[in-house]
Amino acid sequence: MDIKHVTSSPHFPQSNVLAESGVKIKKHILQQSDWTSALMIYRATPHSSTNVSPAEALMNRKIRTQVPMLESQLMSNRKLHKKISFYDANSKSTAKLYFDRHHGAKTPLPNLSPGSQVLLKDDNTDKWTTKGTVVGADIPNRTYLVNTPSGVKRRNKKHLQFQQVKEPNLPTPSPPDERENSSRKSLTSENIPALPINLEHVVSPPSSQESMTTRPITRSASGFTGNKPRRYREEE
């Protein structure tokens, strides 16, 4: 038989919703007083996603129940599988659209490649504390194998967070510039030549006494000394 067994990620039962929903329905049926009749009614009731009953999807025909029906409705229909596939795909796409809209899913999560550094979410504390490295990936099922200090663990992409490793910025020593060294050597006090000074061209500043004698002193009638403004001094 062409059977492919695909397991879900640990701590993520949402990915195995069909099996979880089937177990819930079977538990509800077994709680009934007449569980055999309840199980028959469930098998003969059409499903909302496929528009056919589970028994009809399995055997391509309806099963006989306590409700009377025509013999023609109990005949096999070989073209039923194409209709079931169409209705099932349409129902899943519609459910995905409303689920993403309700939970605010805008863009899909990026895939991780082997060797990526990630953080694992702890289900008990809901904190991203465990560090690990991705060693394997199952992209269609969004399942990854992560190597952690406690061993290799399998987790869904929802429980993994990419951790970007920052490389330390080490300062690179710059080579000494030969021009700077040569200029520093040339500017030392030993290499600076002494310049000759010609004393003939050196002008000494005027003394305060000379400046006081050259300026005329004016006195007012009351005896106060007055100083002319600077603009009048320049004109003189």
CB 123 within 8 A of CB 158: no
Same domain, yes or no, for 54 and 126?
A: no
In a domain, 28, yes or no: yes
Cα pseudo-dihedral 12, 18, 23, 26, rounded to 10: 160
Same domain, yes or no, for 38 and 85?
A: yes
Q: What is the mean pLDDT of residues 142-169?
A: 82
Q: What is the mean pLDDT of residues 202-215?
A: 51
In a domain, 202, yes or no: no
> Encoding tokens for residue 110?
């990026």
Same domain, yes or no, for 76 and 128?
A: no
In a domain, 231, yes or no: no
Overall number of domains in the chain:
2
Same domain, yes or no, for 31 and 80?
A: yes
Please name the residues in contact with 137: beta carbons below 8 A apart, sequence gap of 6 or more: 111, 112, 113, 114, 143, 144, 145
In a domain, 180, yes or no: no
Same domain, yes or no, for 21 and 73?
A: yes
pLDDT in tens, 163-187: 876 655 666 666 555 555 555 555 4
Phi-psi region of 63 (alpha: psi -120 to 50; beta: other; left: phi over 0): beta
In a domain, 68, yes or no: yes
CB 40 within 8 A of CB 53: no
Q: How far is residue 152's CA from residue 154's CA, in Å, rounded to a whole number? A: 7
- Last residue within a domain, chosen from 81, 103, 125: 103
Kindly indicate the confidence band of residue 233, based on its pLDDT and cuts at 50, 70 and 90.
low
Tell me what percent of the residues of the chain surpass a pLDDT of 70. Answer: 70
Choice between 118 and 207, residue whose per-residue pLDDT is larger:
118
On the question of pLDDT at 199 being above 50, the answer is no
Same domain, yes or no, for 98 and 147?
A: no
Same domain, yes or no, for 90 and 148?
A: no
DSSP secondary structure string for all residues of 89-154? HHHHHHHHHHHHHHHT--SPPPP--TT-EEEEEPTTT--EEEEEEEEEEETTTTEEEEEETTEEEE
Same domain, yes or no, for 55 and 19?
A: yes
Name the 3-class secondary structure at 218. strand
CB 19 within 8 A of CB 27: no
Same domain, yes or no, for 71 and 141?
A: no
In a domain, 25, yes or no: yes
Strands 225-226 and 128-138: unpaired
Strands 128-138 and 143-148: antiparallel
Beta strands in the chain (DSSP E): 117-121, 128-138, 143-148, 151-156, 160-162, 218-219, 225-226
In a domain, 210, yes or no: no
Kindly indicate the confidence band of residue 27, based on its pLDDT and cuts at 50, 70 and 90.
very high
In a domain, 144, yes or no: yes
pLDDT score, position 185: 54
**pTM of the predicted model, to two decimals?**
0.49
Same domain, yes or no, for 18 and 83?
A: yes
Same domain, yes or no, for 38 and 88?
A: yes
Same domain, yes or no, for 23 and 94?
A: yes
> Residue 126 sits in which domain range?
117-162
